[in-house]
Amino acid sequence: MDFITSEEKALLTEKLAELRAMDKMLIQRIAEARALGDLRENAEYHASREDKAMNDAKIKELEERLAKAQVADSSALPQDMVFVGAIVRLRDDDGGDEDLYRLVGQSTGRFDLDYIEVTTTSPMGVALMKARVGETIRVDLPRGARRYTIVEIAM
């Protein structure tokens, strides 16, 4: 089961609508390319069909993800427990540095945020899920295990 925030669900739904709208345009492009003549040597026709196949695959992936996803309701959780959507201040027990992390279902890929996005399936995300303020978590990273203390949770 995939946990996502309500914002992530809205973004996925919006993306799905965009892909479905694009699907109609791709069907029109295929029809126009087909009208040009010989399909064996028609590069526009073959390119349009490839684009449609890729778009269909993306639509199917998003539909499956939305069908399996469960929207996390942060109001039903204790305020001191980390769950999807929570922004957490962690202190690295080795270096003492503090950073903000946000537990998300899927990363947006943005690097201009005030926090670092951590997916629920990553080693950090697994360690953070359901942890509480004051706990020390162990994260098994490729370069070895690290320990972090949860300083605060800012929803």
DSSP assignment of 6-27: HHHHHHHHHHHHHHHHHHHHHH
The pTM (predicted TM-score) of the whole model is 0.63
CATH 3.10.50.30 holds for 74-154:
yes
**Is 148 within 8 Å of 134 (Cβ atoms)?**
no
User: What letter would DSSP give residue 77?
Assistant: S
Q: How confident is the model at residue 112 (pLDDT cuts 50, 70, 90)?
A: confident
Tell me where in the chain the CATH 1.10.287.180 domain(s) lie.
Answer: 2-70
Instruction: Give the C-alpha separation, 115 to 154, whole Å.
Output: 11
The two tokens of residue 128 are 């953070």
Q: Which amino acid is at 60?
A: K
Tell me where in the chain the CATH 3.10.50.30 domain(s) lie.
Answer: 74-154
Q: Which amino acid is at 155?
A: M
Instruction: Give the C-alpha separation, 54 to 50, whole Å.
Output: 6
**Is 102 within 8 Å of 117 (Cβ atoms)?**
yes
Q: Among 108, 111, 14, 19, which residue's Cα sits nearest to residue 59?
A: 19
DSSP H/E element including 31 = helix 6-34
Note the pLDDT tens digit of each residue in 35-72. Answer: 887 777 788 888 999 999 999 999 999 999 888 887 76
Fold of 2-70: Helix Hairpins (1.10.287)
Note the pLDDT tens digit of each residue in 8-38. Answer: 888 889 999 999 999 999 999 989 888 887 7
